[in-house]
Amino acid sequence: MDQRSEEVGMPELSKLSSELIRNDWKLRKNVEPTIHKMEGVIEFPSFLEGKEFISDKELERIALNQGSAYGQGDAEWLFEHQEKLSGCPPEVRHLMFPGTEWEHPNGALLWPYLYRRNKNGEWGLYVFWRDFGFSAKHVRLIHFVPKTS
C-alpha cells in the first residue's frame, strides 16, 4: 500500500486511485465509504432551484450541511452497482463526491464523480477540476435515506 493513501485513510487502493498515485497525484482528503453498508434509498435532490451555476465551495457547503459529502469509495461502489442509480433524473449528468479530494501534480484540486455516458444510463467514474464550478442543471449530490423499520 502506498504511504500517501494511508495518511488520509484509503486502506485499499482502487484501480483509479493506484493510477492517480502512480502519476504523482496526492490524496488530500477521503471519507470512509458508507453506502454499501446501509439499507435505504438513494435520492438525487435538486438543491439549486433558479440557479444556473454553482461554485465548488457552495457545492461542498451544501454537501456537508445535507450529510451528502460522500467520497470516492462510495462512488466506486455505485459505479459497480449502477442499478442503484436508476432513479436519477435524465437531465443529471454528474454525481459529485466531494468527500474525497485529489491534488494534481500542477496543484489543481479534483473530486471524483460519476458521469452519465449515454441515455441508456451507463455511468463512468472520473475526477473533475473542482475550481471550474458546475452547471446547476446537470450536477447533483446523492442523498441517502436510511430504511425505517
Q: What is the pLDDT of residues 55-79, one digit of tens each?
A: 999 999 999 998 899 999 999 999 9
For 112-122, what is each residue's pLDDT tens digit? 999 998 877 78
Distance in angstroms (rounded) separating the CA atoms of residues 12 and 101? 16
Question: Could you report the per-residue pLDDT of 21-46, keeping only the tens digit for each?
Answer: 888 889 999 999 888 887 888 888 88
Which of 14, 25, 1, 15 is CA-nearest to residue 101?
Answer: 25
One-letter amino acid for residue 110 of the chain: L
Task: Give pLDDT, residue 110.
Answer: 93
**Whole-angstrom distance, CA of residue 31 vs CA of residue 50:** 30
**Coil, helix or strand at residue 48:** coil
Task: Find cell 432551484 and name the residue.
Answer: 49
Q: What are phi and psi of 116, to 5 degrees?
A: -75, 115
pTM of the model: 0.84
